[in-house]
Chains A and B, each alone.
Chain A
Amino acid sequence: DAGVIQSPRHEVTEMGQEVTLRCKPISGHDYLFWYRQTMMRGLELLIYFNNNVPIDDSGMPEDRFSAKMPNASFSTLKIQPSEPRDSAVYFCASSFRLAGGTEQFFGPGTRLTVL
C-alpha cells in the first residue's frame, strides 16, 4: 500500500484565495483525521471522520474551514478565504478502528503558505 497520500505537498497562495487540500487514506481504514501543525500551537486535531461521516469538528478554527469526505478513499480540507495565519503544515492521517488497538498512519503533509 502506498500509505496516506496528500496533495499538494506545498501550496503558496495569496490572502483571500481559496485553498483545497486533498487526502487519500489507506485502503480499508475507516477513520480519517485532519491535523494542523504550527510552531506556536504544535499539532492540533481539526476534524475526524468515521466511515465518511464527520464525528468531531470542534478543532476546526472557524467557519472559513470546511472538510468533506465524499467517499472512503478521498477527503478534502478547504479554507475560504485563506489568511496568513492559516500558514501551517496540514497532516492527514487514517486508521482502522479508533479504539486503543490501532495506530494512526500519517501522510507526508501539505505545507501551506498564505502571503
Chain B
Amino acid sequence: KNEVEQSPQNLTAQEGEFITINCSYSVGISALHWLQQHPGGGIVSLFMLSSGKKKHGRLIATINIQEKHSSLHITASHPRDSAVYICAVLMDSNYQLIWGAGTKLIIKP
C-alpha cells in the first residue's frame, strides 16, 4: 500500500465546475504540500499546510490531521487549471517528502 494515496487518478470536468481532489496518507507528517504540474512539465508549489485550511484565489486546501486526509478544491474551474495535481507529505521522522501519484485534471471549455 502506498503511503500517500490520491483520488481520483484522472478527472475530466466542464468549465465552471467545482473540483475536489483528495489525498490520504498513512505516515506521521509535519506538513503536506499540494503542487501543480503543467503539461510543459514545470512544478509549482500551490500550498503547504500542517493544519486547517488555506485559500489562494480559486484554490482552497484543507487538511484533517486526525483523519490523515487533505483535499484540494478548485472553484469556478477553467481550462487553464488543466494540469496534474500532486500531493506530497513531509514525514516528521526523517523529513523525507513522499509523493502521491498525482491527479490528472482536464477542464473542458
Residues of A within 8 A of B (CB): 33, 42-43, 45, 56, 89, 91, 93, 98-106, 108-109, 111
Residues of B within 8 A of A (CB): 29-31, 33, 35, 41-45, 48, 50, 86, 88, 90, 92, 94-97, 99, 101-102
Secondary structure of the A contact surface, majority rule: strand
Looking at the complex, which one of A91, A98, A111 makes contact with B95 (CB distance below 8 Å)?
A98
Q: A43-B88, A43-B99, A106-B43 are in contact. List 18 more A-B contacts (CB 8 A).
A: A42-B102, A45-B97, A56-B94, A56-B96, A93-B43, A99-B30, A99-B95, A100-B30, A100-B90, A100-B92, A101-B50, A102-B48, A103-B48, A104-B33, A104-B45, A105-B45, A106-B44, A108-B42
Shortest beta-carbon distance from B101 to chain A in Å: 6
CB-CB nearest in chain A for B2: A42
Shortest beta-carbon distance from B61 to chain A in Å: 12
CA distance A43 to B45 in the complex (A): 14
Q: Please state if A100 and B102 are interface contacts (CB–CB under 8 Å).
A: no
CB-CB nearest in chain A for B101: A42
Q: Please state if B99 and A91 are interface contacts (CB–CB under 8 Å).
A: no
| B residues less than 8 Å from A101 (CB atoms) | 31, 50
Q: Please state if A106 and B86 are interface contacts (CB–CB under 8 Å).
A: no
Question: What are 22 A-B residue pairs whose CB atoms fall within 8 Å in the complex?
Answer: A33-B97, A42-B99, A42-B101, A42-B102, A45-B97, A98-B95, A99-B95, A100-B29, A100-B30, A100-B50, A100-B90, A100-B92, A101-B31, A103-B48, A104-B33, A104-B45, A106-B35, A108-B41, A108-B42, A109-B41, A109-B42, A111-B41
